[in-house]
Amino acid sequence: MSDIHRTIEAVWKIESTRLIAAIARVTRDIGLAEELAQEALVTALEQWPEEGIPQNPAAWLMTAAKRRAIDSLRRGRMLEHKHGEIARELEFQQQQLGEAMDHALDQVIDDDVLRLIFTACHPVLAVEGRIALTLRLIGGLTTAEIARAFLIPEKTLGQRIFRAKKTLSEAHVPFETPRGDELRRRLQSVLSVVYLIFNEGYTATAGEEWMRSQLCDDALRLGRILAELLPAEPEVYGLLALMELQASRTAARTGQNGEAVLLLKQDRSLWDHAQIQRGLAALDHAQKLGGGAGIYALQAAIAACHARARTAEATDWERIVLLYDALLQVSPSPIVALNRAVAVAMAHGPAAGLNALESLATEPALSGYHLLPSVRGDLLMKLGKFTEARQEIARAIALTQNKREQELLTEKLERMPKTAREA
Amino acid sequence: MRFMMIVIPKAHQTASQDAQPNVEGFTRMMEYNKSLEKAGVLLAMDGLTPPSGGARISFTDGNATVTDGPFAEAKETIGGYWIIQVRSREEAIEWAKRAPMDNNTIIEVRQIRGLADFPADVQDVLAKRYESLKKEAAANA
């Protein structure tokens, strides 16, 4: 890609969201707005390399989109009617459309951007459609960039976006921001989309394309945009805090040979302390807004316990257990219960941890989950019950598909003392 | 990718310590800062008081020499900075181009080096430092 094309891409990244929001303000249809904005970008890609980047790129793109809008209005109607009456009416409509679009960019307000977000994350869409539209419309990513990040062909992603736009249009989803209780409910969908994008990047392994890990930064950017738009919503800050705190460990998560390094083994001097401070500030804000018991705020509070500990040994495990208790109240899940049991073991010893695991043994959702026997095996080993521990680790190995995980567990099995010192 | 946008204002060296920005300039700057926030790219920012109240500490052969501001010999001094998180160098440059700046002011855009960007031997030093920190913490516990 040439320098000028990279610059155009950067301009697009900065201007596209407000541009699409401004057009949608007039058309009330985000699919159409996105197409018109896209056509304006194509025009820019043709003309800017020759003419240079305009002084006010946003206004230039808006004018280009307006011409396209008037063109499509004319084409669409001309095919249907040829009467003089209609032609005069059409002229009037064109003038109106033109004037509306001339003013739209000055009038575009935060609420238009918010409408764009809520429409992109609308529940009528499949989750993958929500993710693609959100990155495209609010993240300013190109189809190619999204496709590379999600390791799928560009064509597949293009179809995904096309289908999502079609679904929105067929379901007559209005271009608006929900209010009151509806806002809270719909906000959950928006937040989960942002967190899914974050996790897609966070689980990317070292050596994978840079584009994938870049998704963490894209999600953080979306989180910050939401915090600006919905400053009174505590869960927005809770999610932002959670993402900042998790992302702060990125540099410590992989060893020098690209292997995964677990939280308690990480070199904490590699954590990004400025990012930790941002995360703690966002968490504090969520709590001040009265959202300390939100799902994201609680997870962020757990991450904060780790972030505040200078060494793994200094972790406040008792507080973590309490936070998991609270999390189980608002969002009961066997995975959360499993994590709680690990925290109990750290706070009160392996026997207490095994005790906390007891009720999970018959949990159907965990029956094929390798981490349950893996954790049990660990705790049994710490108690010196090597025979039982060995059985559990072997079960865990059989249950996981992940090669790296298998290697780690096999190593553990081999290192375990052969002689039992069971009491 | 994180970048620092460093403002190098004109006539900054000679400005008096209590020089204040005018209301119009200040309002435009606030709008610009807001646009950075709304785009989700702003991580940190600060404005500095003029160099007349500052000091420069220069190092020669292990000796530190202090010079009080203003710094007659310095052509360029820093007036403030933003730290932004963007996708590319080009995007950082585009943001800098949008800043409301006085005539002849310069903005320098520089990428921030992360810990992960240091060579392996430097990272080793960091890892050893962490080990000794852990021992120290264990001893104090």
Where exactly are the structural domains of chain B?
A: 2-114
Chain B residues lying within 8 Å of A7, measured CB to CB: 90, 93-94
Q: Tell me if B134 and A270 make a contact (CB, 8 A cut-off).
A: no
Q: Tell me if B87 and A214 make a contact (CB, 8 A cut-off).
A: yes
Residues of chain B with pLDDT > 90: what percent? 51
DSSP assignments along A133-167, one per residue = HHHHHTS---HHHHHHHTTS-HHHHHHHHHHHHHH
Q: At what angle do helices A180-202 and A110-120 cross, to 10 degrees?
A: 70
Give the one of A7, A278, A311 whose C-beta lies nearest to B90's C-beta: A7
Q: How many beta-carbon pairs below 8 A join chains A and B?
A: 88
Predicted pLDDT at A87? 61
Give the one of B39, B88, B114 whose C-beta lies nearest to A251's C-beta: B114
Radius of gyration from C-alpha coordinates of chain B: 20
A32: enclosing H helix or E strand: helix A30-51
**Cβ(A17)–Cβ(A155) under 8 Å?**
no
Q: Tell me if B40 and A220 make a contact (CB, 8 A cut-off).
A: yes
Give the one of B40, B93, B95 whose C-beta lies nearest to A225's C-beta: B40
More confident site: A383 or B70? A383
- Whether A217 and chain B come into contact, CB under 8 Å, resolves to yes
Class of residue A388 by CB neighbours under 10 A (exposed 0-12, middle 13-18, buried 19+): middle
Predicted pLDDT at A294? 95
Predicted pLDDT at A89? 66
**Angle at alpha carbon of residue A226, lines to A223 and A229, rounded to 5°:** 155
Predicted pLDDT at A330? 94
The CA–CA distances, whole Å, from B16 to A420, B6, B80 equal: 79, 21, 16
- Whether A316 and chain B come into contact, CB under 8 Å, resolves to no
Q: Tell me if A313 and B88 make a contact (CB, 8 A cut-off).
A: no
Q: Tell me if A269 and B133 make a contact (CB, 8 A cut-off).
A: yes
Q: How far is Cα A194 from Cα A187, in angstroms, rounded to an integer?
A: 11
Q: Tell me if B141 and A313 make a contact (CB, 8 A cut-off).
A: yes
Q: From the candidates A311, A313, A315, which should be mutated to test the interface with B, based on the most B CB atoms within 10 A?
A: A311
CATH number for the domain whose boundaries are B2-114: 3.30.70.1060
Chain A residues lying within 8 Å of B94, measured CB to CB: 7, 10-11, 14
pLDDT at B118 over 70: no
Query: Terminal CA-to-CA distance of chain A, rounded, Å?
Result: 68
Residue B105, CA atoms < 13 Å, CB-side half-sphere: 18
Predicted pLDDT at B128? 72
Q: Tell me if A220 and B90 make a contact (CB, 8 A cut-off).
A: no
**Cβ(A247)–Cβ(A226) under 8 Å?**
no
ipTM: 0.83
Q: From the candidates B82, B129, B130, which should be mutated to test the interface with A, based on the most A CB atoms within 10 A?
A: B130
Total residues belonging to chain B:
141
- Whether A11 and chain B come into contact, CB under 8 Å, resolves to yes
Shortest Cα–Cα distance, B14 to chain A (Å): 32
Whose tokens are 């109990």? That residue is: A344
A109 → chain B, closest CA residue: B38
Q: How far is Cα A295 from Cα A239, in angstroms, rounded to an integer?
A: 9
Predicted pLDDT at A423? 46
Q: How far is Cα B55 from Cα B46, in angstroms, rounded to an integer?
A: 18
What pTM value is reported for the model?
0.87
Predicted pLDDT at A208? 62
Q: From the candidates A269, A271, A272, A276, which should be mutated to test the interface with B, based on the most B CB atoms within 10 A?
A: A269
Predicted pLDDT at A150? 87
Q: Give me the amino acid identity at A334.
A: P
pLDDT tens digits, B1-53: 899 999 998 766 666 666 667 888 889 999 999 999 999 999 999 999 888 89
Shortest Cα–Cα distance, B83 to chain A (Å): 11
Q: Tell me if A221 and B114 make a contact (CB, 8 A cut-off).
A: no
Q: Tell me if A256 and B120 make a contact (CB, 8 A cut-off).
A: yes
Predicted pLDDT at A239? 98
- Whether A311 and chain B come into contact, CB under 8 Å, resolves to yes
Mean pLDDT per 10-residue segment, chain A (423 residues)? 87 93 87 91 94 91 89 65 58 74 74 93 95 94 89 92 93 88 92 94 69 87 96 97 95 79 89 95 97 96 96 94 96 92 95 92 85 93 92 91 81 79 49
Tokens of B52: 């007349």
Q: Tell me if A10 and B94 make a contact (CB, 8 A cut-off).
A: yes
Distance of CA A263 to the CA centre of its chain: 21
pLDDT at B58 over 50: yes
Whose tokens are 């000794």? That residue is: B132
Predicted pLDDT at B115? 66
Domain boundaries, chain A: 21-108, 110-173+180-230, 234-250+270-315, 368-423
B34 → chain A, closest CA residue: A228
| Rounded average pLDDT over B49-62 | 91
